[in-house]
Each structure stands twice: as C-alpha cells, then as structure tokens.
Amino acid sequence: MKIKALLLVSALALVATPALATPMCDRPIGKDGMVDYGFGPETEDQAAAQFEQALNADGIGAHQTRFWNGCIQTWVKVDGQDVMKFYDPDTLREVH
C-alpha cells in the first residue's frame, strides 16, 4: 500500500511541477483584443512593440517580444545565445 501511495505522489509531483513553474502576470486581455498597459488602447502587437522599446531603453536587448500568461515574453542574447525571458509589464522586472 505504501508503494502505491508513493507512486501516486511522485506522479502528481511530475505533473504539477511544470504548472507551478509557469510565469504568471496579472494582466487580462480585453474581449475586443485591445489592451491598455498605460500607452492607451492598442493591439497586443502594438503593446509588445512598446514594451520591447522600454526593455531596450533599460539595457535589455529584447527582440521577438509578445505576451504570454499576461507577462512580456521576449528573447534576449545571453553569452551570444538567444534566451527566452519573461518580464512583469507593471515593473519590467524579470519573472522567474
């Protein structure tokens, strides 16, 4: 019986771990596809371009920026390689 319980707990841990590691930011998208992150109502692509400019102005070499789970998802060169990173749209702090 203990082995079955241990296997069940192990299986649940494997399934739950990726979900808990997913970056989440508290930003709903409007039903009409428009968002307002402080730049005024605009499409998600327009807002992503604004945030990419803001990240670049902060010295973060962001490119191919979009939104994912309410976070800014972008690619940044790290040691010559592209690395996907997530940033909070309110603070521009990296979300781990």
User: Is residue 68 in some structural domain?
Assistant: yes
User: Is residue 77 in some structural domain?
Assistant: yes
pLDDT reported for residue 51: 94
pLDDT reported for residue 48: 92
User: Is residue 36 in some structural domain?
Assistant: yes
User: Is residue 72 in some structural domain?
Assistant: yes
User: Is residue 32 in some structural domain?
Assistant: yes
pLDDT reported for residue 25: 78
User: Is residue 16 in some structural domain?
Assistant: no
Which range marks the domain in which residue 41 is found?
23-95
Which tokens go with 91? Answer: 């603070």
Overall number of domains in the chain: 1
User: Is residue 15 in some structural domain?
Assistant: no
CA 89/CA 47 separation, integer angstroms: 10
Q: Which residues of the chain have pLDDT under 50?
A: 5-7, 9, 11-20
pLDDT tens, position by position, 18-36: 444 566 776 655 566 667 7
User: Is residue 17 in some structural domain?
Assistant: no
pLDDT reported for residue 70: 84
Q: Across the chain, where does the E strand assignment appear?
A: 34-35, 42-43, 62-68, 71-78, 81-87, 94-95
Kindly report the pTM of this predicted structure. Answer: 0.68
